[in-house]
Structure 1
Amino acid sequence: MPEQLDGPRPHHIYVLAFDGVRLLDVAAPLEVFATAARYTGGGYTVRVCSPDGQDVRTSTGLRIAADLPAADVGGADTLVVPGHAELVTFAERPDLVELVAQLASGAGRVAAVCTGAFALAAAGLLRGRRATTHWEHAAKLARLHPETTVTADAIYVQDGPVLTSAGVTAGIDVCLALVEQDHGPDTARRVARDLVVFLQRPGGQSQFSAASRTPATSHPVLRPLLDAIAADPAADHRLATLAGRAAVSPRHLTRLFTRQLGTTPAAYVESLRLESARMLLERGASVTDAAERSGLGSDETLRRAFARHLGTTPSAYAARFRTTRVEMHPPPGAATA
């Protein structure tokens, strides 16, 4: 895999497009590498290929034109495999998986965006490697491909010449990482500034997902407890209290949580309290207020929970997720009310 480009030869990028592909999964890599090409004097050529060279209809309904059929791709330095709006597509399209395998065999490195990781895994490219994908599908990727170590919270993962990334906009992150490898951090920073994005965004992808992703259960002992915890996360939900409420021993309750939900009572309660704190912060609550009302207690406990689960701080989270409005400043000398 090339670490640094030498000489005037451009680095050839090919993005595979197919019917139903997520538009931003294609557009983000094109934008990053096209912008980098301007700053490097033509350091990249970026082309879109499709299975038959014909136009494809994206997930939004917008059609995009292919530059060439996949069979004509040669000398790919980097192959980018986007995701599909419907995850079942890769399972139902063995021809598409085979095409990915063929293209990857002639590429210096391969990068998947979002659920494109499923195509790489089906093609055998993730066997024995670490990988990630959209948080909503990470557990399924791990279940279908146990030979792959799935890191669910990562924005992107690189293992040798194979890179995988989280959902949709993470295609920008992984492509910026490739630009940095090829041309150094200064060029990558210029591209990031041009696109008005983080060069390395803070935190992992858990901060963009629903924190409570525990599967629902209709178990007669657990269901009432889970409903009570969700209704009032700040109440007393210590193990002994929960066990007494369910009329079972703490040991038996712990076994039920582990067997039915794959977690412990304490971890489950913390996840619900963290979700509650996030919602409070998004609505404008202070860190102290969010900690108290969610049941996490103190500012420090809330900070530790955010650092452990989300890789960021409560104040940083609140600033980033509370609003999309830009603060307006009056021009110098303007009258104020």
Structure 2
Amino acid sequence: MKKILLLLANGFEAYEASVFTDVFDWNREEGDGSTQLVTCGVREKLMCTGHLTVLPELLASQADATGFDALAIPGGYESYGFYEDAYSEDFLSVIQTFNRAEKRIAAVCVGALPLGKSGVLRGRQGTTYHLNNGYRQRQLAAFGVNVVNRPLVVDGNIITCSAPASALDVAFKLLELLTSPANCSHIKHLMGF
């Protein structure tokens, strides 16, 4: 069983998290059945965009990379407190631990910014939200990241994307890397892509 830790910050975007829950649930039910997603946060109760409440299964302080194959991080809204959680020591520690263990890490949109802050993207290629005159891309570059203006960037074990529009591409790429290209194509077909 391939286990994916979905690391959530308060104020995460519901859509960006749902691409991982949907793709990996489709795989569990209709694909090769080899994936399991576990939610995680720095607090016991999270409020995401749309004011949906989420109760993560694990706290970040309990997350152990040895029990997982990949880490997934959706972006979020600053006005909802996203960066307070995403830049916290516990959140960044999870990222660093997964990277040291050479596990796959997939981040959507501004979910790349805590990767940058954690240091795991320093000197590597990545991308983040590209609109608003490149403000978020400049923030990512300030962490020592070589920002590439593409919808999807893969550098070693890390996948980043430039906007919510690329979120499904990230989830499918992670599925492909954890299972197989054939299985990923099968799930895409069943989901109508």
TM-score grouping bracket, smaller chain normalisation: 0.7 to 0.9
Tell me the amino acid that sits aligned with residue 69 of structure 2.
D
Task: Look up the match of 2:83.
Answer: 90
**CA gap 1:142/1:47 in 2 versus in 1, 3 angstroms:** closer
Identity of aligned pairs, percent? 22
Task: Look up the match of 1:171.
Answer: 167
| Residues 1:29 and 2:26 aligned together | no
Greater Cα radius of gyration, structure 1 or 2: 1
Tell me the amino acid that sits aligned with residue 71 of structure 1.
S
Tell me the amino acid that sits aligned with residue 80 of structure 1.
A
**CA gap 1:169/1:126 in 2 versus in 1, 3 angstroms:** same
TM-score, normalised via structure 1 length: 0.50
Which of 169, 189, 192 in structure 2 is aligned with 1:193?
189
Matches within 5 A, 1:33-182: 33-52=24-43, 54-74=44-64, 75-86=67-78, 89-90=82-83, 93-95=87-89, 96-106=91-101, 108-136=103-131, 137-145=135-143, 147-152=144-149, 154-182=150-178
TM-score, normalised via structure 2 length: 0.84
C-alpha distance in 2, partners of 1:72/1:98? 11
Q: After TM superposition, give the deviation of residue 165 of structure 1 in Å.
A: 1.3
Task: Look up the match of 1:225.
Answer: none
Q: After TM superposition, give the deviation of residue 20 of structure 1 in Å.
A: 0.7
RMSD value, Cα: 2.3
Q: After TM superposition, give the deviation of residue 107 of structure 1 in Å.
A: 5.8
SS in 2 for 1:21: coil
Q: After TM superposition, give the deviation of residue 29 of structure 1 in Å.
A: 1.0
Contact kept, 8 Å, 1:17 with 1:48, in 2: the verdict is: yes
Q: After TM superposition, give the deviation of residue 179 of structure 1 in Å.
A: 1.9
5+ residue gaps, structure 1, are 1-9, 198-337
SS in 1 for 2:119: coil
Count of residue pairs the alignment pairs up: 185
C-alpha distance in 1, partners of 2:46/2:100? 24
SS in 2 for 1:84: coil
